[in-house]
């Protein structure tokens, strides 16, 4: 009951958790990658912006230094005179050579003196100077400066300001050099693409996580259904085998009972009646043995009990088989190197059933006679019991499936003998190993835990 509940909890919690955790990991990975790309984007943008500012500052400073102070004073006095024409030609040559967008001169009142681009007439208060107030004010104070990057329509621009100095170093005005960088538009597109790709990736990862969650849930449901179907099939097979095994003894009991009744009705003597009656208790005992074997396989924990003394149990099992072994021509050899009171941690019924099943298999493997060797030796904290025969042996495939339920090579076998042995040994923490070759016999080794407080505990 507890195991089944735990399996259901694992199906609800464990299975969906795996794809969700994978999805979360992938989302985090995408976020880290996108953050890295954005960081690189910002670093590239900052570097390009700085280079553009330095270039414009260099152009503005060099151009401002090339303006004659007398010409600048004449321009301030008459923005429409000959000085303005000379300065315009000079600034147009600079614009053409340096590939800047615009060059213009202004005074300390932010009034336009000369604009190569012709956007603002002389005497007009240039609104761009208000936008770049800090950089323009710094230039009028004698310090070259550049504005921040700004955008006009789809064009990214930057303006550098440099002071125009007089003979004694006084500031006569300032020159502005405005330039653009078309590659900023490409960077902007790259940023949008990165963000879009990251968002699509996250959506896809979430979708895949949900898909695999549903897929694994269906797989878990299918596996659970398969296990339940297999269990029902095994139960049905067990019932069929059990019914087959019980039918024969019941038929014998019924037949013998009818014959005994007929003998009594005919007035036959007690000797003849008892001769026919003897088979009935034998078949009843056989039925009880079959039921015990199958119940032991289905519910091995019912056999848990006190420790068993090994030698008396082995003596009892061998005494049951001694006559049959003799008739089959099987020679028995026993080697015991443990104390007579050696006890092992198996219930007496379980130990009896294990030894009986193994010895019966050894007997059946030698239909033409042979040698059966039983060894009992100490093995550290365990007692090793070896049962070896000189029978037909097993192929590697038969040896691999020897303890598999319902697997048998006997025409009338149920395939549960060794399965019962493995079930009981597992219950008590014992171990079993098989060595076998076709035509050379089989040896089965048991390692049975020693019971505490015995002389042969080997502690």
Report pLDDT for 183: 47
Residue 278 DSSP SS3 = coil
Q: Is residue 30 part of a domain?
A: yes
SS3 per-residue string spanning 87-136: HHHHHHHHHHHHCCCEEEEECCCCEEEEECCCCCCCCCECHHHHHCHHHH
Question: What is the C-alpha to C-alpha distance for residues 32 and 50, in angstroms, rounded to an integer?
Answer: 27
Reported pTM: 0.41
* CATH code, domain carrying 26: 3.30.450.20
Residues 312 and 173 in one domain: no
Domain end, chosen from 153, 181, 209, is at: 181
Q: Is residue 116 part of a domain?
A: yes
Q: Is residue 199 part of a domain?
A: no
Q: Is residue 133 part of a domain?
A: yes
**From first to last of its 459 residues, what are the pLDDT tens digits of the chain?**
344 344 434 444 444 555 566 666 767 776 777 777 677 767 777 777 888 888 899 999 999 999 999 999 999 988 888 999 999 999 999 988 887 888 999 999 989 999 998 888 888 888 888 889 999 999 999 999 999 888 777 777 889 999 999 988 899 999 999 987 654 455 555 556 666 776 776 677 677 767 777 777 787 777 777 766 665 565 665 665 566 557 666 767 777 788 778 878 888 878 777 776 776 776 677 677 667 656 655 554 444 456 889 999 899 888 878 888 888 899 999 999 999 999 999 888 788 878 988 898 899 889 889 999 999 999 999 999 999 999 988 888 888 887 776 666 665 555 566 777 887 788 888 999 999 889 889 999 999 999 865 444 343
Q: Which long-range contacts (C-beta less than 8 Å, at least 24 apart) are formed by 215-219?
A: 216/15, 216/16, 216/18, 216/19, 217/11, 217/15, 217/16, 219/15
Report pLDDT for 15: 46
117 and 104 Cβ atoms separated by less than 8 Å: yes
Report pLDDT for 455: 44
Q: Is residue 349 part of a domain?
A: yes
- What is the residue whose two structure tokens read 């495939």? 397
Residues 176 and 311 in one domain: no
The maximal CA–CA distance of the chain, rounded, in angstroms, is: 162
**Number of separate domains in the chain:** 2
Token pair, residue 262, equals 């007929």
106 and 126 Cβ atoms separated by less than 8 Å: yes
Residues 12 and 149 in one domain: yes
Instruction: Annotate 7-34 with DSSP letters as a single string.
Output: HHHHHHHHHHHHHHHHHHHHHHHHHHHH
Residues 22 and 160 in one domain: yes
Domain end, chosen from 165, 181, 197, is at: 181
Within 370-459, strands assigned E span: 370-379, 382-389, 431-437, 441-449
427 and 421 Cβ atoms separated by less than 8 Å: no
Domain end, chosen from 181, 206, 233, is at: 181
Q: Is residue 219 part of a domain?
A: no
**What pairing do the DSSP bridges indicate for beta strands 382-389 and 308-309?**
unpaired
Q: Is residue 332 part of a domain?
A: yes
Q: Is residue 193 part of a domain?
A: no
Full domain range(s) for residue 144: 2-181
* CATH code, domain carrying 341: 3.30.565.10
């Amino acid at each position: 009951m507890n195991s089944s509940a735990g399996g259901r909890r694992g199906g609800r919690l464990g299975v969906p958790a795996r794809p969700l955790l994978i999805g979360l990991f992938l989302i985090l990975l995408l976020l880290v990658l996108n953050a890295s790309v954005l960081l690189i984007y910002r670093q590239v943008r900052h570097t390009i912006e700085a280079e553009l500012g330095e270039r414009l500052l260099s152009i503005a400073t060099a151009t401002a230094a090339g303006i004659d102070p007398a010409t600048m004073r004449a321009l301030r006095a008459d923005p429409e005179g000959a000085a303005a024409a000379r300065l315009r030609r000079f600034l147009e040559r600079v614009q053409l050579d340096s590939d800047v967008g615009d060059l213009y001169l202004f005074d300390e009142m932010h009034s336009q003196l000369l604009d190569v681009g012709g956007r603002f007439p002389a005497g007009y208060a240039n609104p761009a100077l208000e936008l770049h107030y800090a950089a323009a004010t710094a230039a009028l104070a004698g310090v070259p400066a550049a504005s921040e990057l700004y955008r006009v329509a789809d064009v990214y621009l930057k303006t550098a300001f440099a002071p125009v100095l007089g003979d004694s170093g006084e500031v006569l005005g300032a020159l502005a050099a405005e330039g653009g960088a078309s590659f900023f538009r490409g960077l902007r597109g790259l940023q949008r693409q990165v963000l879009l790709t990251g968002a699509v990736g996250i959506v896809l990862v979430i979708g895949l996580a949900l898909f695999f969650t549903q897929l694994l849930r269906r797989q878990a449901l299918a596996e659970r259904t398969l296990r339940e179907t297999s269990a029902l099939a095994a139960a049905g097979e067990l019932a069929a085998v059990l019914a087959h095994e019980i039918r024969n003894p019941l038929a014998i009991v019924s037949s013998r009972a009818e014959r005994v009744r007929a003998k009594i009705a005919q007035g036959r003597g007690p000797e003849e009646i008892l001769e026919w009656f003897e088979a009935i208790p034998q078949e009843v005992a056989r039925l009880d043995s079959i039921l015990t074997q199958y119940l032991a396989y289905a519910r091995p924990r019912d056999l848990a009990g006190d420790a068993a003394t090994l030698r008396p149990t082995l003596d009892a099992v061998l005494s049951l088989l001694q006559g049959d072994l003799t008739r089959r021509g099987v020679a028995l050899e026993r080697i015991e190197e443990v104390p007579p009171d050696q006890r092992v941690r198996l219930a007496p019924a379980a130990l009896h059933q294990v030894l009986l099943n193994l010895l019966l298999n050894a007997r059946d493997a030698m239909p033409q006679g042979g040698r059966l060797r039983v060894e009992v030796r100490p093995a550290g904290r365990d007692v090793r019991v070896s049962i070896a025969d000189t029978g037909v042996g097993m192929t590697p495939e038969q040896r691999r499936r020897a303890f598999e339920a319902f697997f048998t090579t006997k025409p009338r076998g149920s395939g549960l003998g060794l399965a019962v042995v493995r079930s009981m040994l597992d219950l008590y923490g014992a171990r079993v190993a098989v060595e076998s070759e076709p035509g050379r016999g089989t040896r089965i080794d048991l390692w049975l835990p020693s019971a505490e407080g015995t002389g042969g505990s080997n502690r």
